[in-house]
Structure 1
Amino acid sequence: MNIKQKASCLLLLCCALNSTTAQVRITPQAELRAKSLVEKMTLEEKIDYISGVRSFYIRAIPRLGIPEIRMADGPQGIRNNTQSTMYPSGILSASTWNRELVRELGNGLGRDAKARGVSILLGPGVNIYRSPLCGRNFEYFGEDPYLSSETAKQYILGVQDKGVIATVKHFAANNQEWSRHHASSDVDERTLQEIYFPSFRKAVQEAGVGAVMDSYNPVNGVHATENAWMNIEILRKQWGFKGILMSDWTSVYSTVGAANGGLDLEMPIGKFMIKEKLIPVIENGIVKEKTIDEKVQHILQTLITFGLFDNPLEDKSIEKDNAESKATALNLAREGIVMLKNDDNVLPLKKGHTLIIGPNADMIPTGGGSGFVTPYSTVSVYEGLTQIKGDKKITLLSDSLLYKDISKNIFTDNSLKTQGFTGYYFKDKKLSGKPCHQETTTRINYAWKYGSPYPDIQDDHFSAQWKGIYKAEQSGTIRFQISGDDGYRILVNGKTITGDWGNHALSSRNAFMQVEKDSLYQLQIDYFENVGEATIKFQAGMLDKKLLNYELKKADNVVMCLGFDSNIESEGFDRPFALPYGQEFLIDEVTKVHNNVITVINSGGGIDFRNWRNKVKAILMAWYPGQEGGKAIAEILTGKISPSGKLPISIEEKWEDNPTFNNYYDKRNVPHKRVQYAEGIFVGYRGYDRTGKQPLYPFGFGLSYSQFTYENLQLRKKQKNQVEVSFELKNTGKMNAAEVAQIYVKDCKASVPRPLKELKGYEKVFLKKGETKRITILLNEDAFSFYDTDKKNFVIEKGDFEILVGPSSSELPLKGIINL
């Protein structure tokens, strides 16, 4: 290539970079065109337009040339009646601390959306990780508003680079799934502005996000979809948002409240924002027609700005099972997995034979709800290790081999003549009265979807019960597994041993029981369906301890793949802090026999390590690593790459240590629950710094196969309260690796309570062994400000600020003072 060609290529590259960094903004031309269309619409057409149709669509108006617009979940891949690339979960993306890679994630999601004719992507989710119990933490970007907002910004820019509208959600303070429709998040103004609003603000002001989704919960007693202060005063007037404000699915609770509260679009279909309810209140002057016009205007001008009126909505030239998207999913997993422990340098795996065990060894789990994706293919940890080490050096002991099915030893009654359960079906939810149907079945594995077991049973509000007698063939440990949507429970000899007896999406429970040879046990499985889908599944197996010990004694290394999945961690309900009891039980059994045990944990957040952490040599926090996750995990286990992920959360030793412990659930016996955010701005590491309690694993922490040193800090004051921070970072280890350098700011003397330190800058840097780089990061004035509730604005108090630099929030070797 000659000099002229190189210059031409460089110019093209610069143009490409400039085009992809531009935000999408609502243009005056789009506003005028939208206004013209609104003027041509009848009142009935306008009202119809502000509610969805067919669940994930904005309706067409053919006479005006307005196309039907398709939406789709979700945060980590396109779902809703399609297969697509399953990217890692949001919390893993945040764990990469890599802006460029998250931008590639957004590009991949945009590309996958265009290939399917999806014009509005319902992501990213940016709600702050307040507690490990929230069922949707896996979708979000962690506990820190700066890291979350930077991650969200790149995700949105990446999606919208491809002409697809991103939707930042859930606005706001939706930090738990427990009672999400009814429990009010009661948060003071400063805490909202400093902790819970920043990701939304940056999405609007710096990423130009096209859509915002309101949350289910009330905020300070007013549902988000009716909260005019949030939706109009903050979002529209303060931040200048001109895009679409939509509801979450079925999160609209009144007509007048939603109409006057700033909501543009009710999803998935109209229940309150419909002609029958709006026209009377418009005629009575309670809602103005101008208000309806503004909603339609917001939707239309956004669609026009993104070219959705003038360009094909589907790009058939893009492969749906896309190699570029698959590569992005792999690269994210490689950089987002966090190594929490590596005693005796047990990792990378030494030569010899490796046993893979655990419920997630031969599958890639993910969280449930709108974050669930159906991929074309996956690579499990077992498959990934086999690809690298060869199948002769890897043995899989799957759950199906480890727990022997006991169904042949379950009988309908004490005569032990007929195998199976006797099933009874009832036409109400209470298992009451005489059963309307009775049957014998050897398996309880039903997915009636939106139907029922029999034609004469209504699709909702029915129940069922199965009874059987189990005769133990031998003494040992039985594992019971049950899952259901809605309520379910297992009783043994009349005593409930596990269950989830309430209205909820699909969830799962395990229970373990010791049995004696030749003893009889009465089994009873109860189930009720409330509304929606109907599912109940049950199975039981006996631990094959002889096989387990045989395989353990052959192995040089043991990799245990444990954690949660979409049945335990999901939208719609909160999850436990501890691993399922059976997994802790399995760790005990394995570590009694073997010393070199490595655990790979799938989870959307912190878990309880207390009972088993000291029994294992190494821990990888793999989160939900996406379809290529097993390959990335295998590469880290074998040392092909060094782990470089850092925690976007603090992991407490016990749940009681969490700053929100005393005010996460409203335990009062009242119909209207109110969750007091009494910790204020002191959430996550800010709270631990304030109380002096040390988390088990601090925010920003993550081990590497290499080592790094930080030296020669320099601080330079720039214009407008900006500070340039520069320092040298050196890889002093024996392996090429990446390090995340983190910058925290401390206000040395403040007139209001402020955190001991706050993350305000970071950079992920790849260094060859022995290499040194000088890193320079500019801190803008918002790195030093706090929200003044009297002035209703962010302010900087003049004085000294301490700049702290290092590899995690608990290890900051470089410190310097700057006066502003």
Structure 2
Amino acid sequence: MKASALSCLLGGTLVAAATFNPVDKIHKRDVAKSDPYYPSPWMNPEADGWAEAYIQAKDFVSQLTLAEKVNLTTGVGWQGEQCVGQVGAIPRLGLRSLCMHDAPIGVRGSDYNSAFPSGQTTAATWDRVLMYRRGFAMGSEAKGKGITVLLGPVAGPIGRSPEGGRNWEGFSVDPVLTGIGMAQTVSGMQDAGTIACAKHFVGNEQENFRQTGESHGYGYDIAESLSSNIDDKTMHELYLWPFADAIRAGVGSIMCSYTQVNNSYGCQNSKLLNNLLKDELGFQGFVMSDWQAQHTGAASAVAGLDMSMPGDTEFNTGLSYWGTNLTLAVLNGTVPAYRVDDMALRIMAALFKVRGTIDMDPINFSFWTSDTYGPVHWVAQEGYQEINSHVDVREDHGSLIREIAAKGTVLLKNTGSLPLKKPKFIAVIGEDAGSNPNGPNGCSDHGCDDGTLGMGWGSGTATFPYLVSPDSALQARAIQDGSRYESVLTNYAPDKTKALVSQANVTAIVFVNADSGEGYINVDGNMGDRKNLTLWKNGDDLVKNVSSWCDNTIVVLHTPGPVLLTEWYDNPNITAILWAGMPGQESGNSIADVLYGNVNPAARSPFTWGKTREDYGADILYKPNNGGDAPQVDFTEGVFIDYRQFDKAGAEVLYEFGYGLSYTTFEYSNIKVEKSGAGKYTPTVGKTDAAPTFGNYSEDLSDYLFPKDEFPYIYQYIYPYLNTTDAKKASADPHYGQTAEEFLPPHATDSDAQPYLRSSGGNSPGGNRQLYDIMYTITADITNTGSIVGEEVPQLYLSLGGPDDPKVVLRDFDRLRIDPGQTTQFTARLTRRDLSNWDTEAQDWVISDHKKIAYVGRSSRKLDLQIELA
């Protein structure tokens, strides 16, 4: 624990972010700040959905020694064991090491597992059931590999800027659609027996400057990671919203982010972790650091961090802010014993809540190698044994992946060329239609854009068990139909392409893409975040050329978000445009299903397709703006991102948020509203119990020496033990010996009963339970006026009515199957939270006096029906 880093602790009331100019250095008084919030809340033994797990966890933790508790909280170090992150085991009580492993679209770096569609593609289905089924399947596969915590789903980034590198890992730019995606995925994963980890909390909206070391590698001399400067209202109404839904769904863990928020690091920001997450939202699980996102020891402990990942201060140093130092911090009174008790309690409660037992199958893979035999302790090259059992966990998930990818494909334009009906001659054009010549896993963590794009790059990826290319799937369908079929699988053969698509009877299908990913990989100058919103590899010229040579050109887009289609989308020779997102392993089959009408498209765009990059408003900060100090990223747009920004500016769009076509037609009618009998909102009152502790522990340092007679020391492995009874030497900290009073903020170690926040839920995770009371039920009739069966996605939007509110905000939706000529009733509900704004003075949700109007329509700008809420 370094005293010099303690200034990063400060968290508290989130103040409005100042406006900064790109000058050499911003004066400290103009930089957004967070004030401290302490103590760190301890678990509530009566919290909804957690009571039984709490009892089991309390019984288990009460048996632990201090060293064993610390072992649960501290990672064993990068490459210490088989997973990307593990904590120490407690063999005395039969608990094996807990395995934390990527990722939000499947198991990373393993074999015989599935590669699922991205969160964003799944959100485009607007189908709660498919979201849940995907979560369950991913959780099932992770459990089958021996994984304890799967590091997803993602709500940060939410997609503040369309160029954001990891937007595809999340769901949508809208907090409600993202929140529903989070809740359904969490429920699915945890019902399957794997703890979900909602990430990255919070304001983690760009890759550039997210870590100082990474930035130095790209030639930027900054001393601290960027600061996302977010005001209180924006935090609650946009960025915090989907995390509240994940907590309400019972998520077991939450990962704090690399970035700072209001100039306090996310993993030691007491405002974020103690106040918003654990107090206001009543989160009962454990907070895990992102890998190397921990910057202090005692300071991060009292600020609310519960688990350090991967445990070492930097990869493969063998040093840790916790481990030995956390043991010493408790022994010398710097960190109160109840705080470490609470860390262990939260970790074990999450395990018991999801698994019900400490019995777990062995970890049967190694992230570090595909070899069957090798060292368990990879960096130390010790413990040689079978480390990869090559267990096949895929079951029949390929069919689910195909269904989600097809139902997540958005039909943006169709002048009648689709669905295909045994076309005479198909010409498929573009590198994105074919296979990577080095194989589907030919680039480390998919850090390239070669062949068809099934996923982005970075730690959020998974290993393809296979990848069905569009070329192979469409060729198979053409052979089945007796169609002529040829393909040119490059973007750079204009003569051959022209000769092919200029022939008679050609239906030309052009596949183009854009890519993005995590910041540690640079692909063609894109350091995670995209440099622009254009298509990659000459894609725009390819589309324009083919459409100039062929009057029946269909364009398929694989992208991590919007691209600019302005130059060619309205070309009459382009008869159809489809966005297929990042579809996973069944890519070709899923797009064939849509093109041929086996799946009638009903997907809706989870973001807006603007005419210019500037119309989106918020952008990536690509160059440091604060000298050598932390770059300052000001969220001055507030809640006005994506469609909210376009509506505020009155900007034209190509395709709005929520837009998507079908092969049939629908009519909306007969909107009605029914007011519920929900009572008046009452703030939460009362106090917590005092902080519990689970028994005494020895204060004799000799009791914590490394037990060399019990097991051998492993190189670079992080232990809770001391190597000497000289505390200062054992800590390896030159500042060791300072007391808590010398550097920790007031109340950081308080253990007495604490008052509930008025906005908190008391026993209800997710906030005051009355926020989720249903206030209105709205119904409308949806009629299929076409000739074929189809699915429709009616959407409920709300005008909150205030001068500073967005024009409309999404509040509910459904995906309905309707037969030709049939009418189905759409039912939507508005909760108290849906109708409320965050009051920064009252520090609570309040329904304003402004007129509220509900709209039911087929997109954010096609609002067929409206009704005023009385």
Q: TM-score range by the shorter chain?
A: 0.7 to 0.9
**Is the Cα–Cα contact under 8 Å of residues 644 and 737 in structure 1 kept in the other structure?**
yes
Separation in 2 of the partners of 1:44 and 1:568? Answer: 31
Separation in 2 of the partners of 1:782 and 1:47? Answer: 35
Partner of 2:192: 162
SS at match of 1:236: helix
2:241 counterpart of 1:198: yes
2:819 counterpart of 1:768: yes
Separation in 2 of the partners of 1:626 and 1:44? Answer: 39
Separation in 1 of the partners of 2:865 and 2:390? Answer: 48
2:442 counterpart of 1:353: no
Partner of 1:62: 91
Partner of 2:176: 146
Give 1:665 deviation, angstroms: 6.8
2:398 counterpart of 1:326: yes
SS at match of 1:356: strand
**Is the Cα–Cα contact under 8 Å of residues 402 and 586 in structure 2 kept in the other structure?**
yes
Partner of 1:474: none
Q: 1:570 to 1:124 in 2, by over 3 A?
A: farther
Q: 1:46 to 1:361 in 2, by over 3 A?
A: closer
SS at match of 1:745: strand
Partner of 2:53: 27
Amino acid at match of 1:745: L
Gaps of 5+ in 1: 1-21, 404-478, 480-542
- Greater relative contact order structure (CA < 8 Å, 6+ sep): 2
**Is the Cα–Cα contact under 8 Å of residues 136 and 192 in structure 2 kept in the other structure?**
yes
SS at match of 1:620: strand
User: Which of 521, 541, 544 is the matching residue for 1:588?
Assistant: 544
Give 1:117 deviation, angstroms: 1.3
Greater mean alpha carbon deviation, residues 639-648 or residues 569-578:
569-578
Partner of 1:244: 286
**Is the Cα–Cα contact under 8 Å of residues 117 and 315 in structure 1 kept in the other structure?**
yes
Give 1:357 deviation, angstroms: 1.2
Q: 1:310 to 1:46 in 2, by over 3 A?
A: closer
Q: 1:297 to 1:270 in 2, by over 3 A?
A: farther
Amino acid at match of 2:788: M
User: Which of 612, 629, 650 is the matching residue for 2:568?
Assistant: 612
Amino acid at match of 1:76: I
Give 1:574 deviation, angstroms: 0.4
**Is the Cα–Cα contact under 8 Å of residues 111 and 390 in structure 2 kept in the other structure?**
no
SS at match of 1:722: strand
Give 1:626 deviation, angstroms: 1.2
Q: 1:595 to 1:547 in 2, by over 3 A?
A: closer
Q: 1:211 to 1:732 in 2, by over 3 A?
A: same
Matches within 5 A, 1:296-311: 296-307=344-355, 309-311=357-359
Separation in 1 of the partners of 2:352 and 2:664? Answer: 50
Gaps of 5+ in 2: 1-47, 212-224, 314-319, 365-388, 436-451, 522-526, 679-773
Separation in 2 of the partners of 1:584 and 1:689? Answer: 27
**Is the Cα–Cα contact under 8 Å of residues 407 and 603 in structure 2 kept in the other structure?**
yes
User: Which of 559, 562, 585 is the matching residue for 2:509?
Assistant: 559
Q: How much is the aligned-residue C-alpha RMSD, in angstroms?
A: 2.7
Q: 1:702 to 1:666 in 2, by over 3 A?
A: farther
Give 1:137 deviation, angstroms: 0.7
Matches within 5 A, 1:693-732: 693-720=651-678, 722-732=775-785
Deviations 1:613-658 (A, max 9, x none): 2343221000001111211211111222211100111121111111
Separation in 2 of the partners of 1:100 and 1:622? Answer: 20
Deviations 1:572-631 (A, max 9, x none): 620131112522222233223212111111111001112332343221000001111211
SS at match of 1:559: strand
2:270 counterpart of 1:189: no
Q: 1:30 to 1:398 in 2, by over 3 A?
A: farther
Partner of 2:411: 339
Partner of 1:268: 310
Partner of 2:44: none
Partner of 2:831: 780
User: Which of 578, 597, 601 is the matching residue for 2:557?
Assistant: 601
2:846 counterpart of 1:805: no
Q: So what's the TM-score if we normalise by structure 1?
A: 0.75
Separation in 1 of the partners of 2:520 and 2:635? Answer: 23
User: Which of 21, 26, 38 is the matching residue for 2:64?
Assistant: 38
Separation in 1 of the partners of 2:627 and 2:264? Answer: 20
Give 1:736 deviation, angstroms: 1.0
Greater mean alpha carbon deviation, residues 388-397 or residues 692-701:
388-397
Separation in 2 of the partners of 1:376 and 1:641? Answer: 24
**Is the Cα–Cα contact under 8 Å of residues 198 and 253 in structure 2 kept in the other structure?**
yes
Partner of 1:216: 258
Matches within 5 A, 1:159-558: 159-181=189-211, 182-205=225-248, 207-271=249-313, 272-278=320-326, 281-282=329-330, 285-307=333-355, 309-313=357-361, 320=392, 322-345=394-417, 347-348=419-420, 351-363=423-435, 364-365=452-453, 366-390=455-479, 393-399=483-489, 402=490, 543=493, 545-546=495-496, 548-550=498-500, 552-553=502-503, 556-558=506-508
Amino acid at match of 2:414: N
**Is the Cα–Cα contact under 8 Å of residues 643 and 704 in structure 1 kept in the other structure?**
yes
2:648 counterpart of 1:690: yes
Amino acid at match of 2:351: L
Give 1:761 deviation, angstroms: 1.1
Separation in 2 of the partners of 1:560 and 1:25? Answer: 55
**Is the Cα–Cα contact under 8 Å of residues 163 and 620 in structure 2 kept in the other structure?**
no
Give 1:378 deviation, angstroms: 2.3
User: Which of 844, 850, 866 is the matching residue for 1:793?
Assistant: 844
Q: 1:569 to 1:806 in 2, by over 3 A?
A: farther
SS at match of 1:302: helix
Give 1:307 deviation, angstroms: 3.0
SS at match of 1:38: coil
Q: 1:250 to 1:808 in 2, by over 3 A?
A: same
SS at match of 1:241: coil
Give 1:315 deviation, angstroms: 11
SS at match of 2:792: strand
**Is the Cα–Cα contact under 8 Å of residues 112 and 465 in structure 2 kept in the other structure?**
yes
Give 1:544 deviation, angstroms: 6.1
Deviations 1:720-740 (A, max 9, x none): 261110110001112211110
Separation in 1 of the partners of 2:160 and 2:277? Answer: 22
More strand by share: 1
Give 1:384 deviation, angstroms: 2.1
**Is the Cα–Cα contact under 8 Å of residues 425 and 505 in structure 2 kept in the other structure?**
yes
Partner of 2:103: 74
SS at match of 2:793: strand
Q: 1:349 to 1:297 in 2, by over 3 A?
A: same
Give 1:799 deviation, angstroms: 5.3
**Is the Cα–Cα contact under 8 Å of residues 50 and 295 in structure 1 kept in the other structure?**
no
Number of aligned residues: 655
SS at match of 1:169: strand
SS at match of 2:866: strand
Partner of 2:30: none
Separation in 2 of the partners of 1:763 and 1:321? Answer: 31
Q: 1:607 to 1:119 in 2, by over 3 A?
A: same
2:122 counterpart of 1:93: yes
Give 1:782 deviation, angstroms: 1.5
SS at match of 2:538: helix
Q: So what's the TM-score if we normalise by structure 2?
A: 0.71
Greater mean alpha carbon deviation, residues 583-592 or residues 686-695:
583-592
Give 1:233 deviation, angstroms: 1.3
Deviations 1:339-388 (A, max 9, x none): 11113545436621001111111244211112222122222212222333
Partner of 1:132: 162
